[in-house]
Amino acid sequence: MTTAEMLSSPNQTDFAFVSAVHELVDSRRASTTADLILSAICHALRPGSKSATDLHEVVAQIWPGSRTSQADIERALLLGKELRHVHQEQGLQESLWALTATGLEDVARHETWVTGIREQTCKEIVVRAWVGLRIEIDLDKAELWLDALVRSLVEGIQASQDAYMGQIGRVGRDTLSPRGLDPKLVIQSLENKLSNSSDVDFLKSLAVAALDPLDTFGNELVSHITVGCVLHSYVAGRDGAAARSRLGKPVGQRALIDTPVLVDLLGPRRVLKPAEFTIAQAVQAGWELVVCEHSLDELSQLIEREVPRIKRAFTEAHENGVRNEWYASLVEDQLPSYCVEGLRDGTYSSLDDMISASNEMRETLERLGVEVRPHGNDRDQSSVELFERALRRDLGTGRTRSDEVLQRDANSMAMVARRRRREKGKTWPGGWIVTSDKHVSPAYAAVEASDSIPLALTLAQWSTLHSASIEPTSIVDLAQAAASQLIDEAMLLLPARFPADVAMDLARQLSPERGGSEMDFRLAQLSLNSVLDEAGHKRSGASLASEVLESRVKRIEWLKNQELVSERRRRTNAEQNVLAAKAAAQHADNEAASARASAATQTAELAKLSDKYAWSQRRFTRLLLSVCSSLLMLAGFIAVLYFDVAPIIKIVSGGTFFGSILAGWRWCLSESRSYWAILLVTIAGMLAFGADSVGVYCALESNCN
C-alpha cells in the first residue's frame, strides 16, 4: 500500500501516521520537531516529487494540530538532505523535493511493517468475529472495521494529549495540565461511527482487547499510536519556549513515589523499564525523589500476602479451565496482570522471584537515586487526621481500606502538603504524590481548598510533565515510557474490575465451556459498572455472569433475527430472480423459435437457389442435346429433300425434325419433363436418318446407273 493510497481518506491517514511513528521509533534518532516533520515528509514523498508548499499540506494531515509553518518544513527538508533521505530537483515552475534511494528504502520498509500488521490484524478480526458473533466476514469487511477501530483509537489517544498539542494548560501556575488515556473516549468514538449495535459491541470488545497488555490483539498499533501522540505533544511542548521560560526548572521539586509505582518497579519488562527510565530522567532533571518507609512496608506486606494468593488463584484457574489472562484482566488489582506478564516475558522464572525482588526494593531505589526516609509527620498529626477523614469521606461505603492503609496514605499526603505550604506562591507547587490512587487529589482538595493544583500525578502524567520542563536525552525513550504507562492506566479505567473471588467466579462462568466467549469477557469489562446490588451487598460472580450471558443471548437473538430478515430478503430476491429467469428463458425460447423458423426459411430459400442453379445447369445440357439432335434431324431432312427419294421418307424425315424441335423445347422448358420423349424422338430421328441415308444412297446408285 503506497502513501498515496494511505492519504486517500482520513482513515488511511491514520495508518500513514502509524508508519511515520514506526520510522521514528525504529531509527531511534528523533529528538526535534524537524525529525517529526521529516518522518511525515518522507511518507508524503513516497508517490513522487512535491513542492515544499504541497508537503506542508500533507504534513498537516499526518501530524494534525501541530501548527507547522513553512519555515518548519524547510528546516526539516534541510535535515533530510543532510541525512541523505531527500534531494532537491528542478521542476517546471518551482523546485521539487524527492526521496533518495536511501529514503525510499526506509519508507518502503516502514510501510511494509504497517501493511503486515494491518493484514495480520484483519485476519484476527475475521477469527474473532466468528467466535464472538458467529458470523463469517471477509477481509474487506474486516478492513472497514479495522479502519473504524484505528480511527477511534487515534481520536481517543489524541484527545488525552490535547493539552500538549501546542496549547498551554495547567500543571502548576501557567503550565501544562496532563491528562490520561480514557478508554471511554475510544468507546464513544466507536458508538458515533457505527449504527449497528452488534457491530458496535464487537468493536468495543476489540478496543478493550487492544488496550489490554495481556491480549496480543492490536498491541503494536495502540503502542505506536500512543507513542506518536506523546511524541507530538512533547515536541509541541518543548517548542513552547515562552511556556518553559515561565515554568522554569523543576530542581528541588518533590515527587513522593507511592506504593503503586513501587509495584510497577516489580512489574514485567514492559512496565519496569519505562518506570526506571522515567525515574532516571527525573533525577537527572533535579527532582527530589522520595519513598516513605511506610510505603516499603506496605509493598512488602502486599507482596507477601497477595503473591501466594495469586499462585493459588492461577492453580484454581487452571483446574477450572480458566485462562490466567482472563482472571488477571477482570480482577481489580493490577498485580495478577503483572504476574502473568512477568512470567510470560521471562522477568521472573517463578513468582517467588517477585517476592525476592520486593525484599530488595530499598537497594533498587537507592541505585536509581531515590531517597528512602520516614514521613516526618510527628509534629503534623493534625494534618494527618484531616487527610485521613477526607479520604474516608471520598471513599464512601462502596470501597473500604484498612485503618493502617488509610493512615499511610494520609501521612504521604501530609508530607507533600507541608512541602507545598513552604513553596506557596512560586511557579512550581513544591511537590506531588506519584500514584494511581484516584482518591488522593479529591481528598486533598477538600482539605486544602485554596490549592487548585491536584496533589496526585500518575506515573504517565509525571513522565509527560517532563516534556514541559526538561531536555530529555532521548525523547523517543521518554515517549515510549509515557505511552506504555498511559496504556497500562487505561485498563484500570475500565468500568468493571472486580474483587478476586468475584473475578475468578466471573471468569469461570464466562469460559467457553459455560457458553461464554472472548467478546463476552471484554463486554463484561465495559458493561458491569458495579459489583454491588441495590441493597449494597456484593454480587456473586454467577450473578454478574448471568447478566453478561443474558446480554449475550439477547445479542445472539438479535443476530438471528437479523439473519432471518436477511434470509427472507434473500428468499424474496431469489424468487424474484427465478421469475425473472423464467421470463428471460421464455423470451429466449421465443427468440430461439423465431431464429429456427428464420433459419428454416433461409435454408429453404438456399435449397431453392441451389435447385435453381442445378436446373439451370441441367437445362443448358438439355438445350445442347436438343440442338444437336435437331441439327442432326435437320441435316437428314435437307438431304432427303435434295435427293430424289421416296415421299414417305421425306415425310418421316420432316416429322422427326419438327418432332425433335418440339420435344427438345418442352424438355428444356420444364425440369419435370421426362427425357424419354426426346429420347424416342432421337431414336426415331436416328432411324429416320438411317432411312434418309439409305434413300440417298439408293438415289445416288440409280443416278449412277
Q: What is the mean pLDDT of residues 391-410?
A: 82
Q: Looking at per-residue confidence, does 29 or 582 come out higher?
A: 582
In the sheet that holds 431-434, the strands lie side by side as: 371-373, 288-292, 254-257, 431-434, 456-457
pLDDT at 450: 86
Q: Looking at per-residue confidence, does 624 or 369 come out higher?
A: 369
pLDDT digits (tens, 9 = 90+) for 92-146: 777 889 989 988 888 888 888 888 888 888 888 888 887 776 778 888 888 888 8
Asked if 95 and 88 count as a contact pair (C-beta separation under 8 A), the reply is yes
Q: What is the mean pLDDT of residues 31-42?
A: 76
CA 140 vs CA 10, 111, 118, 257, 553: distances in Å: 17, 19, 12, 48, 28
Asked if 86 and 43 count as a contact pair (C-beta separation under 8 A), the reply is no
Kindly state the cell numbers that stand for 178: 496532563
CA 175 to chain centroid? 38
Q: What is the mean pLDDT of residues 564-585?
A: 78
pLDDT at 60: 74
Q: Looking at per-residue confidence, does 658 or 120 come out higher?
A: 120
Cell 482472563, located at residue:
326
Q: What is the mean pLDDT of residues 211-221?
A: 76
pLDDT at 265: 92
| Residue 169: band (very low, low, confident or very high) from pLDDT cuts 50, 70, 90 | very low
Residue 539 gets which letter from DSSP? P
pLDDT digits (tens, 9 = 90+) for 357-378: 999 999 999 999 999 999 988 8
| Residue 623: band (very low, low, confident or very high) from pLDDT cuts 50, 70, 90 | confident
Kindly state the cell numbers that stand for 666: 418442352
Cell 490535547, located at residue:
162
Residue 127's SS3 state is: helix
User: Helix %, strand %, coil % for the chain, to 5?
Assistant: 70, 5, 25
Asked if 96 and 49 count as a contact pair (C-beta separation under 8 A), the reply is yes
Residue 642: CB atoms within 10 A of its CB come to 10
pLDDT at 174: 46
Q: Looking at per-residue confidence, does 199 or 51 come out higher?
A: 51
Q: Looking at per-residue confidence, does 381 or 36 come out higher?
A: 381
pLDDT digits (tens, 9 = 90+) for 633-655: 777 777 767 666 667 766 777 77
Strand-strand pairing, 86-90 and 95-99: antiparallel
pLDDT at 257: 94
| Residue 246: band (very low, low, confident or very high) from pLDDT cuts 50, 70, 90 | low
| Residue 531: band (very low, low, confident or very high) from pLDDT cuts 50, 70, 90 | very low
pLDDT at 300: 92
Q: What is the mean pLDDT of residues 370-391?
A: 90
pLDDT at 402: 84
Q: Is pLDDT of 598 > 90?
A: no
Cell 506557596, located at residue:
424
Kind and range of the H or E element at 510?
none
Kindly state the cell numbers that stand for 445: 482538595
Q: Is pLDDT of 453 > 50?
A: yes
As a whole number, the mean pLDDT across the chain is: 76
Query: What is the fold, at CATH topology level, of the domain defined by 3-107?
Result: Arc Repressor Mutant, subunit A (1.10.10)
| Residue 262: band (very low, low, confident or very high) from pLDDT cuts 50, 70, 90 | very high
Kindly state the cell numbers that stand for 650: 421425306
pLDDT at 367: 93
| Residue 555: band (very low, low, confident or very high) from pLDDT cuts 50, 70, 90 | low
The number of residues making up the chain comes to 705
Rg value, the chain, Cα: 50
Which range is least confidently modeled, 225-229, 369-373, 586-590? Answer: 225-229
Q: Is pLDDT of 454 > 90?
A: no
Q: What is the mean pLDDT of residues 454-473?
A: 74
Q: Is pLDDT of 495 > 50?
A: yes
Q: Can you give the residue ranges of every domain in the chain?
A: 3-107, 544-704
pTM: 0.65
Q: What is the mean pLDDT of residues 198-222?
A: 78
Percent of the chain with pLDDT over 70: 68
Residue 326's SS3 state is: helix
Smallest CA-to-CA distance from 51 within 7, 3, 103, 95 is with 95
Q: Residue 580: is it exposed, middle or buried by C-beta count within 10 angstroms (0-12/13-18/19+)?
A: exposed
pLDDT at 387: 92
Asked if 482 and 161 count as a contact pair (C-beta separation under 8 A), the reply is no
| Residue 7: band (very low, low, confident or very high) from pLDDT cuts 50, 70, 90 | very low
Asked if 68 and 85 count as a contact pair (C-beta separation under 8 A), the reply is no
Dist. CA 55–CA 95, nearest whole Å? 12
pLDDT at 167: 38
Handedness of CA 233, 236, 239, 244 (dihedral sign): negative
pLDDT at 558: 61
Smallest CA-to-CA distance from 44 within 25, 27, 57 is with 57
pLDDT at 74: 87
Kind and range of the H or E element at 416?
helix 403-422
pLDDT at 150: 80
Q: What is the mean pLDDT of residues 406-412?
A: 92
Phi, psi of 292 (to 5 degrees): -75, 145
Residue 467 gets which letter from DSSP? G
